[in-house]
A = this chain, B = another copy of it.
């Protein structure tokens, strides 16, 4: 399991055994059952997440219903907004599947940055890379219709469409579940005709 992490990191910086051991010594690997809530609205937390296996989901509760805005799957990382700005969370995070995560928090990061500056480089590069990807994602979202967004998702993250409930996918696409159903029907019709 740890190898998954170190293989991932090796794409960005090379770690000595010392550095690897330092990570392991923090004992950050955690397993969660499907449905587990990791973060609640109103809650303060210091935990960042890196998904080793499984899928977690960010959602808001607005006017009584859930609005899903993000899914994180294997080798994706997220530091919740509430960790950055030290305020109560605006949203929930829960496990879509049985999930294995690596937890991080600012104290642990500070200690690591101090001992091994290389880790700060890693985090900077990761943040910059994720930010750039996020921007492209947002751009695509803005410049396309719900139908295009769905087709795009089928291309880019076909696994998501399988492993995630439709109604959660719908709000991820910025539409209602009924519209997603209809839209899928429309696409099937086109493929036939």
Closest B residue, CB atoms, query A85: B132
Q: Is the CB of A172 within 8 A of B134?
A: no
Contact of A127 among B60, B128, B141, B142 (CB under 8 A): B128
In the complex, what residues of B have CB within 8 A of residue A131's CB? 79, 127, 130-131, 134
Q: How far is the CA of A141 from the CA of B69 in the complex (A)?
A: 10
A107 at the binding interface (Cβ < 8 Å) = no
Say which residue of B81, B128, B129, B172 sits within 8 Å of A135 (CB atoms): B81
In the complex, chain A residues 78-124 whose Cβ is within 8 Å of any chain B Cβ: 79, 81, 84-85, 90-91, 113, 117, 120-121, 123-124
Which residues of B sit under 8 angstroms from A9, Cβ to Cβ? none
Q: Give this chain's copy count.
A: 2
Contact partner of A141 (CB less than 8 A), chosen from B60, B85, B141, is B141
In angstroms, Cα B135 to Cα A141, docked, is: 13
Is A67 a contact partner of B143 (Cβ separation < 8 A)? yes
A136 adjacent to chain B (CB < 8 Å): yes
Docked CA distance A135–B69 (Å): 9
Contacts of A91 in B (CB 8 A): 139
Max chain B C-beta neighbours (<10 A), residue from A58, A90, A91, A134: A134
Residue of B nearest to A122 (CB): B124
With contacts A124-B124, A131-B127 taken as known, whether A138 is within 8 angstroms of B136 at the C-beta atoms is: no
Contacting pair B139 A138 (CB below 8 A): no
Question: Residues of A with Cβ closer than 8 Å to B?
Answer: 58, 60, 62, 67, 69-70, 79, 81, 84-85, 90-91, 113, 117, 120-121, 123-124, 127-132, 134-139, 141-143, 171-172, 174
